[in-house]
Homo-oligomer: A and B are copies of this chain.
Amino acid sequence: MLVRQSSPSQHTTVTIAGVPVGGPSMVVIAGPCAAESETQLRTVAECLTRLDIRLLRAGVYKPRTSPYSFQGLQDEGLQLLHDIKRAYGLGIVSEVMSVAHLERACEVFDCFQVGSRNMQNFELLKALGQVRKPVLLKRGLAATIEELLGAAEYILAGGNQQVILCERGIRSFDPSTRNVLDLGAVALLKRLTHLPVIVDPSHATGRRELVIPAARAAVAVGADGLIVECHPVPQQSVSDAAQALSLDELEQLVCETARVAQAVGRQLPCPVERAA
């Protein structure tokens, strides 16, 4: 299988809009669950710029349990992301749910995210094997490591080597957290595959107060980066409000994880400390 390491030192670096993922530096991808408005995105983009975070996440196509829930701003969201990208020079990481989305979003998204529910949407994976852009592949809610690697293999086998894996929590019996963050899986993946592996502490815990500790743990276990939900006013987020960090909390996350990154031999600049 193409996803397997040929040797323990084989590590692929995937570059999103000039930002390397999988190298000595940790990457942070941050932003709201969904693109909601120009004001919202500008406020977030300014914070990211200040924190030296160069990749923005924000959904325009939202997979929702109910057809009557907010489904994302779709075309209007694409236009918002296009403008924010031009204004701030940020790379855009955003979810696609079908081949049709791929075609529409191709000029705006710098990295196509495949969400948990679509990890084994093999027709979508095959199409992503044909594109020339990085893919962020999230682990399914009950996907084994072998299934996650198999899903990535669909993309690599199609000719696209730029795949980043993402652990985002698995289903469990305990209602006290939204999902269970499986960091043993991250440690194992780093030994099985040469692909970068990042962690989503927001969906993994589903509770704002647990996101920063989970992020520290993810860095300590050896993840190559984080994808984090934040919002200018978390309680007003149209989706996933309980897990979105405020922008102040995002800054705290960056500073705390930067210290852990250093302790495990990785780099993550903490702008605040740098300024101090």
Contacts and interface: CB of A to CB of B under 8 A. Distances in A.
A125 to B, nearest CB: 8
Given A100-B123, A146-B65, A222-B213, A185 B174 contact: yes
B180 A170 contact: yes
| Residue with the greatest number of chain B CB neighbours at <10 A, chosen from A68, A144, A187, A207 | A187
B118 A121 contact: yes
A154 interface: yes
A212 to B, nearest CB: 9
* Interface of A: prevailing SS: helix
A10 to B, nearest CB: 17
A264 to B, nearest CB: 6
A51 to B, nearest CB: 19
A228 to B, nearest CB: 15
A98 B99 contact: yes
Nearest to A189: B176
Interface in A104-137: 117-118, 120-124, 126
A183 B214 contact: yes
A217 to B, nearest CB: 4
Contact of A122 (B63, B219, B256, B260): B63
A141 interface: yes
Given A67-B153, A184-B210, A221-B214, A122 B145 contact: no
Contact of A183 (B117, B123, B217): B217
A154 to B, nearest CB: 5
A177 interface: yes
Interface in A232-273: 256, 259-260, 262-264
A54 interface: no
A35 to B, nearest CB: 18
20 contacts: A67-B153, A67-B157, A68-B157, A98-B98, A99-B100, A144-B175, A145-B176, A170-B180, A171-B171, A171-B173, A177-B185, A188-B207, A191-B209, A191-B210, A213-B222, A216-B220, A217-B217, A217-B220, A217-B221, A259-B264
Given A97-B123, A183-B217, A184-B210, 16 more contacts: A65-B150, A66-B150, A98-B98, A100-B123, A144-B173, A144-B176, A176-B188, A177-B184, A180-B180, A181-B183, A181-B184, A183-B213, A184-B204, A216-B222, A217-B218, A220-B260
